Every structure is written in structure tokens, then in C-alpha cells.
Amino acid sequence: MIYIKATVKGEPDVPPLTRVFQYADKTDELILHHSVEMAREKLGKNMKLNVNEALLLYAYFVASEMRAEKRVGIIEKNAKTILSSGQAMVGVPETLRVLVFDAVVDGRREWVVLRQPIPASGYIMAAE
């Protein structure tokens, strides 16, 4: 069983958003797996991910690492390698500045906090 409550903190002037990922059985987890594979296929075609797809990848990563019995510190460190700014649409790194996962996976509960998991590209929007 996977239950993850993700709280996303982005720009300082925008309220945090919360998403719940809940997969009660193997059938639900198969749906999760297929959704993650679709996002990975997009990356394989050099397409960029939106906020929801990127958040899904991070939630799945947290669940997978917890199943592998990794410590929270290792999960937080390794999460920085999942996506680069070039793999996400404009604004996604800024929207996903801090991800807080309250995760329960197979009865194990952990709090995982990812700070700037996608490095900002440093682009500047110019007025015409």
C-alpha cells in the first residue's frame, strides 16, 4: 500500500498546493507504474514534463526508495538526480522549490523533504 501526501511550496507569493497519491492494492500500483512510464517515455522523446508529471516522478521515487529500505537522507540526496531543468517546462523548477512528502509505504511512515530538486536554469524573461 502506498499513501503519499505531497505538499509543494513554490514561489513565495503563491500558496502551497497539496496532492495525495493513494494506491491501495497491486492493481492501483500498476496504474501508478504505467503513469510513471508514460512520463519517462516523454523524457525519452526529449519532451519536457509539466508540474504534475514531475511531482508524480518524485512521489514514485520516494515510494520506490522506501520500499528498498533507503534512509531518508539518502532519498533526499539521490532525488536531485531525477530531473534537470532542461527536462521540465518553464516554471516547473520554481513551482517545485520545496516538496514535502508524508509517505506511508507498506506500513513504514517517513517524512521526506526535497529542497530545489530541479535546479533552476537561470533564464531571464525579457519584455519586448
Q: What is the CATH number of the domain that holds 93?
A: 3.30.280.10
Residue 80 counted as domain residue: yes
Domain count, the chain: 1
Residue 121 counted as domain residue: no
What is the band of 108 on the pLDDT scale with cuts at 50, 70, 90?
Answer: very high
Task: Give me the domain span that covers residue 85.
Answer: 2-115
Half-sphere exposure of 13 (CA within 13 A, CB side): 0
Query: How far does CA 126 lie from the centroid of its chain?
Result: 29
Residue 96 counted as domain residue: yes
Look at strands 108-115 and 98-105 and give their pairing.
antiparallel
Cα separations in angstroms, 11 against 70, 85, 89, 97, 117 = 30, 16, 16, 8, 14
Average of pLDDT values for 89-101? 95
Residue 108 counted as domain residue: yes
Residue 84 counted as domain residue: yes
Could you tell me which residues are beta bridge partners of residue 21? 4
Query: How far does CA 111 lie from the centroid of its chain?
Result: 14
Q: What is the pLDDT of residues 27-81, one digit of tens each?
A: 999 999 999 999 999 999 999 999 999 999 999 999 999 999 999 999 999 999 9
- Residue 119's pLDDT is what? 84
pLDDT above 70: percentage of residues in the chain:
94
Place of cell 492494492: 25
The pTM is what?
Answer: 0.90
Residue 21 counted as domain residue: yes
Q: In this model, does residue 124 exceed pLDDT 90?
A: no
CA distance 123 to 128: 16
CA distance 109 to 104: 4
Residue 128 counted as domain residue: no
Other beta carbons within 10 Å of 8: 21
